[in-house]
Chains A and B, each alone.
Chain A
Amino acid sequence: MPAARRRARPKDRRSGAAVPARRRAPGPAAPSAGVLGIPLALALALLPISLVPRIQTHPVLAQSFWGAAAALLAWQAVLFLLRRREEARPEIDTVLRPQHYVQAAVQLSVFAYWGWYWRPVYDHAWLLAGQLVFAYAFDLLLAWSRRERYTLGFGPFPIIFSTNLFLWFRDDWFHLQFLMIAVGFLGKAFVRWERDGRRVHIFNPSAFSLGLFSVVLIATGTTPLTWGEDIATTLTLAPRIYLFLFLAGLVVMYRFAITLVAGSAAVVLFGLSALYAAATGVPYFIDSEIPTAVFLGLHLLVTDPSTSPRTPLGKTIFGVLYGVGVFVLYTLLGAFGAPTFYDKLLSVPLLNLSVRWIDRVAVTLEAGGPFGRVAERLARPNANLAQMAMWIVFFAAMTLIGATDGRHRGDTVPFWEQACAEGRPQACERLLQIEASYCADASAWACNELGRHYTDGAIVAADAALGLDYFSRACELRFRPACLNLLEQGGAYRAPPKTLDLRLLLREGGQNLMEMSEAELRARACAHGWDFACEEARQ
């Protein structure tokens, strides 16, 4: 019987903890049989979680949990049957890595703050817990299936949190959420390459599954199966969300030296947005200089140290390319009629694939010349602190000019109506987009306006059936002009927004206006370019 051979474990650079050897030769070491019970306990833990009221409210959701548990149990049973004659037993090491628990803590703080202002996030808590349990069990069984020691730590936390900060499936389709998590772990285990002399995973696990599922959702036109669109737009419901993300991001920047990635991406996006606005007179992104979800992504999605460049210049290039990628994808997705919020998700896997190329370019540039001197400065001790200082100054400047949490000119419908009337680039498309968003929020006024656009065909190709659909929706929301448009099929009737419409239309920047008095609401409407409200005030 061969003796167990173990290589000396290298020290983890950040935690100082021993890194376990990736593969272990079969040997006599027989650790506690209790270890075998861990995946069993985790799989069974999904069952009581499925009994909580949030999950029991929807039978398909509960069935998703049972299906996930059954799959894990079946996997474990097969594994047990195949390995029962082997003397070697699965082994577990415990390694707590700061890049996992610090990231997880920051992500959790985002959920907590965002959920305070958008209730579905808190309602999602049990589903997050279920995914975490599933992720641990899946990761463990995957490691043992590959005859590897399992490294127990907080690893699954940032993967699950990061995934759920950008995409989760609706209750009817929640089994796909489990599948998405599984794909992330499979990608981490099997999609690997040689980098810096080590065999490492190519993709950021959450970004890999998010990117893959994004492509499928876009290709099949099934985005409504997910909360993706809502997630991307409801972050702004939390006041001063940019400031919150900025402060949370500072923690990650300080701890893991990712300032160059996030900062350069943000600078590029702000810069490109400003250039576009200067050239066209309208904002590039509808209601922000950088969409909130992109701002979140450049702090917490693209910054995985394991799958991004390690040299300062490489990090800078990586960040710049992320900014450019998001900027370009936003237009490309819009041009193909796909939801634009996928821009931040699709960029990351592409960048992960480019890392070796970026590394090579960075090494070449650092070899000499001006880039070499820049790289040298960027690599100096405390350089990250200097970079953070520059980032803080830059963010403060952006905030002072109203490019972050402040009021944004693209927030208002009248701005886009005017821009559309003036023939500004993309303005009519943006007007339709923003009205569709408000219509989906149950603004009858916005639905009626959309119905008119699709009926008269002035700013979009006429589509009588779609126009009637919008009129029907507005009419069911008790908007009288829409009912008359439905009756006479001319699309001629319109009226100013009603009070409930204003509470939605003036939400700009995410404020909850449900409690605002009518007088304040109309004053705000006047200040935001709604002429009818100013006329009412004058009368």
Chain B
Amino acid sequence: MVLGALAACRPLDPEGSSAARATPLPDALEGFRADAWFLPDDDLLGFVEIAAGPFTMGSDPAVDPRAFENERWSAGGTQGTVDLPAFAIGRYEVTVAQFRAFADVSGYTSAPEALRGSPDHPVGSVSWPDALAYCRWLEATLRDWPGTPPRLRQWLNAGWRVTLPSEAEWEKAARGADGRVYPWGDVPRRDRANFGGAAGATPAGSFDCPECPFGLSDMSGNVWELTRSPYQPYPYDENDDARDLAADALFVMRGGSFTDPEGNVRAAVRGGADPGVRRPFIGFRVVISPPP
């Protein structure tokens, strides 16, 4: 009896299987493919290609008086120019359904809160390693899956990786090359994003943004989005990421959330996320990015 009771237990998950207590996955979800781990139902499974080229990064206080100190390129300067190779970024923030599908398939143990939301809402309460685990799984899945769109397969075969965006990739995807303050322009608009102390996150893709440079949803507000860039002072240089290993890990998060005022959901705003922290207003989106 004791043997049976002990053998049946799950000592490292004392609250029981987190997946077992999560919101069940629906049979179908509009705009997403239930047969493809609830990735968006379009030609590139929700990935949008961002062409190579330079863009304006950071904030100029003369143009945007709400700019924080950490958005300035240097003490004297204002904004910088960063040239990026082509990459692809998710049209939407990763949803609860997608993360739940990942947890179900891979057996990954996440915080139970991450799996409890509505399936079409952005996933929250994920740590930075949780987000990277999703990326690793998605890359391996797309490499193995016969249904992977040829364009995605081409990128993956060329050595591109599914990962979190760098903060430069994120900012370019959000504001394009012209240095605008918000993804849609220079003034805040409630009809374009979920922010300003809203009650909670809204379903991915709730806000159309025809003015946004790449048509991405929720690049402003809804949930903060984790990036793969360590939090460091500007000027931005990806080569700095592996320096100062003795410093505490802190990663940049972007875009602000439904809880934030308009000044925090600007495209250049830089938040810092402790990699171990899990909050309902912090999520992520993924990129397929070429090797450095």
Contacts A173-B9, A216-B2, A220-B6; A498 near B246 (Cβ below 8 A): yes
Residue of B nearest to A489 (CB): B136
How far, in Å, is A21 (CB) from chain B's closest CB? 34
A224/B12 in contact, CB under 8 A = yes
A478/B12 in contact, CB under 8 A = no
Q: Does A386 contact B (CB under 8 A)?
A: no
Q: Does B290 contact A (CB under 8 A)?
A: no
A222/B11 in contact, CB under 8 A = yes
Total residues of chain A contacting the partner, CB 8 A: 34
Residue of B6, B128, B136 touching A475 (CB-CB under 8 A): B128
Q: Does B62 contact A (CB under 8 A)?
A: no
Which of B89-97, B182-190, B248-256, B262-270 participates in binding chain A?
A: B248-256
B246/A496 in contact, CB under 8 A = yes
B249/A475 in contact, CB under 8 A = yes
B14/A172 in contact, CB under 8 A = yes
CB-defined contacts of A472 to chain B, threshold 8 Å? 129, 133
B3/A483 in contact, CB under 8 A = no
Residue of A173, A220, A475, A495 touching B246 (CB-CB under 8 A): A495
Residue of A nearest to B163 (CB): A487
Q: Does A100 contact B (CB under 8 A)?
A: no
- A172 to B5 CA separation, bound complex (whole angstroms): 13
CB-defined contacts of B228 to chain A, threshold 8 Å? 487
A481/B245 in contact, CB under 8 A = yes
A219/B230 in contact, CB under 8 A = no
How far, in Å, is B71 (CB) from chain A's closest CB? 23
- A220 to B8 CA separation, bound complex (whole angstroms): 9
Main secondary structure of the interface of A (DSSP, over half): helix
Contacts A478-B276, A487-B228; A493 near B245 (Cβ below 8 A): yes
Chain A CB within 10 A, most for which of B127, B132, B247:
B132
CB-defined contacts of A224 to chain B, threshold 8 Å? 11-12
Q: Does B52 contact A (CB under 8 A)?
A: no
Interface residues of A in 480-534 (CB under 8 A from B): 480-484, 486-487, 489, 493-496, 498
Q: Does B199 contact A (CB under 8 A)?
A: no
CB-defined contacts of B275 to chain A, threshold 8 Å? 475-476, 478, 483
Q: Does B7 contact A (CB under 8 A)?
A: yes
Residue of A173, A486, A495 touching B132 (CB-CB under 8 A): A486
CB-defined contacts of B163 to chain A, threshold 8 Å? 487
B interface residue count range (under 10 / 10 to 19 / 20 to 34 / 35 or more): 20 to 34
- A276 to B72 CA separation, bound complex (whole angstroms): 63
Residue of A nearest to B109 (CB): A469
Q: Does A179 contact B (CB under 8 A)?
A: yes
Q: Does B242 contact A (CB under 8 A)?
A: yes
Q: Does B274 contact A (CB under 8 A)?
A: yes
A483/B251 in contact, CB under 8 A = yes
Residue of A216, A486, A487 touching B3 (CB-CB under 8 A): A216
CB-defined contacts of A176 to chain B, threshold 8 Å? 2, 5-6
- A479 to B248 CA separation, bound complex (whole angstroms): 6
CB-defined contacts of A217 to chain B, threshold 8 Å? 6
B11/A219 in contact, CB under 8 A = no
Q: Does A272 contact B (CB under 8 A)?
A: no
Residue of B nearest to A217 (CB): B6
Residue of A179, A222, A471, A480 touching B7 (CB-CB under 8 A): A222
Contacts A478-B274, A478-B275, A478-B276; A483 near B246 (Cβ below 8 A): no
Residue of A nearest to B228 (CB): A487
- A478 to B242 CA separation, bound complex (whole angstroms): 14
Q: Does A365 contact B (CB under 8 A)?
A: no
Residue of B nearest to A492 (CB): B242
Q: Does A383 contact B (CB under 8 A)?
A: no
Interface residues of B in 177-226 (CB under 8 A from A): none
B249/A483 in contact, CB under 8 A = yes
A476/B127 in contact, CB under 8 A = yes
Residue of B3, B127, B248 touching A480 (CB-CB under 8 A): B248
22 A–B contacts, CB within 8 A, in A order: A216-B2, A225-B9, A225-B11, A468-B133, A471-B129, A475-B128, A475-B129, A475-B249, A475-B275, A475-B276, A476-B275, A479-B249, A480-B247, A482-B249, A483-B128, A483-B251, A484-B241, A484-B245, A487-B228, A493-B242, A495-B245, A498-B246
Across the A-B interface, give the 3 residue pairs with the lowest CB-CB distance, nearest first.
A476-B276, A472-B129, A224-B11
Other than the given A471-B129, A475-B128, 12 more pairs (CB < 8 A) read: A176-B2, A216-B2, A222-B7, A222-B11, A224-B12, A468-B136, A472-B133, A479-B249, A484-B241, A486-B132, A493-B245, A498-B246
Question: What residues make up the interface of A, taking CB atoms closer than 8 Å to B?
Answer: 170, 172-173, 176, 179, 213, 216-217, 219-220, 222, 224-225, 468, 471-472, 475-484, 486-487, 489, 493-496, 498
